[in-house]
Structure 1
Amino acid sequence: MASAAFPTDSSARHPEWQYLDLMRQIWEHGSERRDRTGVGTRSVFGTMLRFDLADGRMPLLTTKRVYWKTATREMLWFLTGDTNIRELCKQNVQIWTDWPLDTYRRETGDDISREDFSARIVEDAAFAARWGELGPVYGKQWVDWPTYQYQADGSYQKGPGINQVAQVVESLRNNPGSRRHIIEGWNVAQLDTMALPPCHKTYQFHVSDGRLNGALYQRSCDVALGLPFNLWSAALLQRMMAQQTGLEPGEFVWMGGDTHLYLNHTDLVEEQLSRTPDGEPVLTIARKPDTIFDYKIDDFVVENYQPQGALKAPIAV
């Protein structure tokens, strides 16, 4: 395997070397194991990356093209609480299409192409309602976490949903020293009804000297395909939170549980490990909307991003 030379002085190293070092560690030393998808992985457990978001900096990989607008559209979709892929498909965002497509093929026997399935989701509202639903995934838990109220007869009645995102914004404004600035996606009672239980499951925020720090704990992480999107999305959420609460962006900390590479990603991994990071992408948020739920894709402008070529590999469903 070709391996790019890199500086050993940590102060001189591009922050993206953290990602490449992690990829190399997993590929060369990870435990090989079978997984839910049947593809197989090399895996390590308990990992961490840290990025400074000051001066507009973002963890946007340069050793391959990361489609940051696609990741941004997904994050904005999460914040709506929507759980159907139709709005994503309308924007040609296919991040979630494979899961309902797999269900449709399995239950109907129709070997429809992904493109035709997505087009039908967009064109046919009834078809989308039947086949495009993902269950109570991220957005549902973030902005409408279900509650149940105990009744005198021993039964439970559904109560009002909890908007965790709105609560965290308010707590950051009014009680910045709190240790409860948390957005949680792991609703144990509803995991079996989700197309995919949340991987990036727990977000926590921390205020220090006028700076907003953020942490993401990810229980399961596909380092080659998923992590580049996860790093961007979590840092983006932190940037939006900072703007909404009048704080400066601070440090973003990413923590992984089962951190893995799929065995069928050999070509991608070896090519990316031969590349050298370069450049410092900067994100500008063009306006401050009234709430964190009012951002639009055109509000985000990335400059100084000149990535190396795209790298592709099959997704494991």
Structure 2
Amino acid sequence: MAVLEQAYLDLLKKIMTEGNDKSDRTGTGTRSLFGAQMRFDLSQGFPLLTTKKVPFGLIKSELLWFLRGDTNIKFLLEHNNHIWDEWAFKNWIESDEYQGPDMTDFGLRSQADPEFKEQYKQELDQFTQKILEDDDFAQKYGNLGDVYGAQWRRWQKREGSFIDQIAQVIDQIKHHPDSRRMIVTAWNPEDVPTSALPPCHVLFQFYVADNHLSLQLYQRSGDMFLGVPFNIASYSLLLSLIAKECNLEVGEFIHTIGDAHIYKNHFNQVEELLSRKPYDSPSLWLNPAKKDINDYEMTDIKVKDYQHHGVIKAPVAV
């Protein structure tokens, strides 16, 4: 096996040394570069970071959530996945029904005020528990709008019907592998104002050559420390699932990022990560009995020989 994460480590170093210091929507501040690209040859292994532990279970459940066309965090919570909690929680605390303590700017305040952090944690725990227990509440406050799952599987047409972009692109790969139109998009200008988080992964395109399937993702905005390691593994997994269904070998995952940034409150974590020596990348196991992308369950997807350093915690900017 090879060390596939080197492209990621090199980009982190470049941003830290050459990046532009900028303000951002969250008020945290970033150091960023515009127009970055990383390439990962999946025939050499699976690009799950080894310089810190990345919870692959969260990546699996999130991708399966997308592929189900789901946009409600209840499915994620049922699989102990809390990646999207803060965005749903933000909708709840900004609603007229919320009567709890002031949670304005909870992301930044929880970093600076230990007492508030404990109060915020209690409110968030109560919120997620209510999502799990109360179907009506979950329907109202667990839904994130037309995020990835909806755009991938139920893109709404003008006349009211829907397009399943994933099914459509799989059909193209199988029957028109030389097409230059094998694209899935998540960016719908009409839906951006109502989405909890407008899509960062704007579009991805497939390419077939020499019986290998490759995928290029264009990501408008990439949180390099927390988000991008998940994105790399998630789209590499998506590529692997679709290649298997189409009887193709895996080729390259190419990750192109518009604003590739490191939040200023992640600088110490990045330095710690870069001080570590990476291990060989693990390999991916997919249940040989499964082929249709819609049939996979959590137990059908595993990584093998995953050797890694310890977890490095960092706050989420919301």
TM-score normalized with structure 1 length: 0.90
- Secondary structure of the 1:51 match is strand
Q: Distance in 2 between matches of 1:53 and 1:17?
A: 14
State the match for 2:22 in structure 1. Answer: 33
- Secondary structure of the 2:253 match is strand
Deviations 1:126-185 (A, max 9, x none): 111111110000010000000113xxxxxxxx2x10000000111100111101111100
CA contact (8 A) 1:220 1:259 kept: yes
CA contact (8 A) 1:211 1:248 kept: yes
Task: Please tell me the residue identity of whatever aligns with 1:110.
Answer: G
Question: Unmatched 5+ residue regions in structure 2?
Answer: 102-121
CA contact (8 A) 2:2 2:281 kept: no
Q: Distance in 1 between matches of 2:254 and 2:197?
A: 24
Q: Distance in 2 between matches of 1:290 and 1:44?
A: 39
CA contact (8 A) 1:137 1:197 kept: yes
State the match for 2:71 in structure 1. Answer: 83
CA contact (8 A) 1:243 1:288 kept: no
In the alignment, structure 1 residue 296 sits paired with structure 2 residue 297: yes
Q: How does 1:62-77 map to 2 (within 5 A)?
A: 62-77=50-65
State the match for 2:137 in structure 1. Answer: 127
Aligned residues: 296
Q: CA deviation at 1:20?
A: 1.1
Task: Please tell me the residue identity of whatever aligns with 1:200.
Answer: H
State the match for 1:7 in structure 2. Answer: none
State the match for 2:100 in structure 1. Answer: 110
Across the aligned residues of Structure 1 and Structure 2, the Cα RMSD in angstroms comes to: 1.4
Q: CA deviation at 1:28?
A: 2.0
Q: Distance in 2 between matches of 1:109 and 1:100?
A: 16
Q: CA deviation at 1:115?
A: 2.0
Q: Percent identity?
A: 44
Question: Unmatched 5+ residue regions in structure 1?
Answer: 1-11, 150-157
Q: How does 1:75-224 map to 2 (within 5 A)?
A: 75-107=63-95, 108-111=98-101, 112-149=122-159, 158=160, 160-224=161-225
CA contact (8 A) 2:2 2:280 kept: no
- Secondary structure of the 2:94 match is helix
State the match for 1:8 in structure 2. Answer: none
Q: Distance in 2 between matches of 1:106 and 1:182?
A: 36
Q: Distance in 1 between matches of 2:207 and 2:213?
A: 6
Q: CA deviation at 1:290?
A: 5.1
Q: CA deviation at 1:288?
A: 4.5
TM-score normalized with structure 2 length: 0.90
